[in-house]
A and B are shown apart, each in its own frame.
Chain A
Amino acid sequence: MTPPTLTTARLTLRPATMADFGAYAAFLTTPRSRFMGGPHDVKTAWDWFCNDTAQWTLLDMGALIIERQGRVIGQVAVCGGPIFPEPELGWFLYDSADEGQGFAFEAAAAMRDWVLGPRGLATVVAYIDPMNAASIRLAERLGGQRDERAATPDGIATGVWRLHAGLRLETKRLVLRKPHMGDLSECVAFWSSPRSHMMGGPWTAEVTATNLQEVIDLWDLRGFGLFVVTLKGSDKAVGLMGAWQPADYPEPEIGWSLWDISLEGKGLAFEAVAVARDWFFATSGQITAVSYTHPDNMRSHRLCERLGAVYDPDTVQIDPPERIYRHSAGGARA
């Protein structure tokens, strides 16, 4: 296939040309490639460069050169074929001066979204040297989780981090995706603040981490859960919304938290919860769900009513005092 050109907030990811080989080889022949088995010789660099390019013809995937303001700063690639047991997402920046600014993450996230989105792969892995702490952090920010059972290329001793095709729901202004532990810092910022008091907070960072892990685990357990809400063009979590059912809930609950006060009053929560609710009813087979709200949380009451939920005084409160609303499949108004 013809390779795509992807554009992010700060970067352009484009197909390689012959002119890109010099910088590629320069990188692979220096100690900066130590986590990729380097330094390598120019012959190996050329083999790899051809492999990364040939992938587009052979497997409809491959490498893209990372450019920032017209300057080549690195490469991001998804490569498969006989060399790897399964498609692998890899990234590198040529110059240490470009590190620490989120460029690798921005490029890798765009490639991840392309390969697990339009390209249609269900899963992709990253092979990372267990000593490469920076790449491991990046893989986890991307949503990768260590996969101890995955095959490695030629049985080499490398760590494998696996990413799954996320569920992605899009609205006019938002993208909803499954949460991962890379969202923890945004979670902590909200749940440690007084703004979380109507949601049962504030919590310590440790409690927040435990609760985020539960949110993630509930997806695997039930097949539905709270989505992380992001603004289009950014992968940063700004809230958690959707239907979920913790172990001690008698039935699914539709809940939401929007973490940035500057985002309130724009209808973003309604936009996100409506699409998450519709997805939940369409895919889970459930026909009803509740929203447990704080009796003083007038904003949430208005949102419930806007969503078509009705006040339900007969349902048992699980953490009184509560004001409970009931949603029905189809979003029918009372």
Chain B
Amino acid sequence: MTTVLHPDLSEAMRAQAQARRLEPRNQRAPKLADYPAYEAVFTSDRAVHVGGPFSADEAFADFTQAVAGWMLLGAGAWTITAHGDDAALGWLYLWREKDDPEPELGWILTEAAEGKGFATEAARAVLPRALALFGSGGVVSYIDAANAASARIALKLGARRDPVAEAALGEPDLHVYRHFADKEPT
């Protein structure tokens, strides 16, 4: 979830996302005050499942992509916060990245926020909107094969692995979890 947003992200996604205001509660647009936490996550071993750890410059580039996505692509990242506290707990992404064939729902948490269900709760808030935008089965989560925690979240959200999509992707260590409007694939 942290590589490069592809410049050719479909205009359709941009237009659709702009047409529907994606503003779940308890998640807000990232701001500069979030960056120290973002850098801490992405320069640490916490980023190992998303291609890291990264250098500070790479982390900032990733952060600005997530932020700029809203203006350039109509999609990007939200900062996850708790009720009544503005501190960043993590980030939730809805976008389509370089070489990814489909729109993605992704998440990453700070170390302190781990294990409390925050990513699941944040993803649940956005998932219905994502499925409304792209249709049932039209959104996936790309998850490192070794990332058991994220795999559990995807399953809790009702997603199912898609062996055909994984084979097409050609990256043995990257699993594709497909999200559906109903828990059962149609």
Q: Which residues does A use to contact B, with CB under 8 Å?
A: 15-18, 21-22, 25, 42-43, 46-47, 49-51, 53-59, 81-83
Contacts and interface: CB of A to CB of B under 8 A. Distances in A.
B183 interface: no
B123 interface: no
B183 to A, nearest CB: 35
Contact of B5 (A25, A46, A56, A82): A46
Nearest first, the 7 A-B pairs at minimum CB distance are: A54-B64, A54-B67, A53-B68, A50-B68, A47-B61, A54-B68, A58-B32
B72 interface: yes
B32 A50 contact: no
Contacts of A43: 4
Contacts of B118: none
Contacts of B69: 50
A88 to B, nearest CB: 15
Interface residues of B, number: 25
Nearest to A53: B68
Given A18-B7, A46-B4, A54-B68, A81 B60 contact: yes
Interface of B: 4-5, 7, 9, 11, 14, 29-32, 35, 56-57, 60-61, 63-65, 67-73
Given A47-B61, A51-B64, A81-B32, A15 B71 contact: yes
Contacts of B7: 18, 21-22, 25, 42, 46
A295 B122 CA distance: 81
A16 B72 contact: yes
B127 to A, nearest CB: 24
A50 B31 contact: no
A17 B18 CA distance: 13
Contact of B32 (A21, A42, A49, A59): A59
Given A47-B65, A54-B64, A57-B29, A82 B35 contact: yes
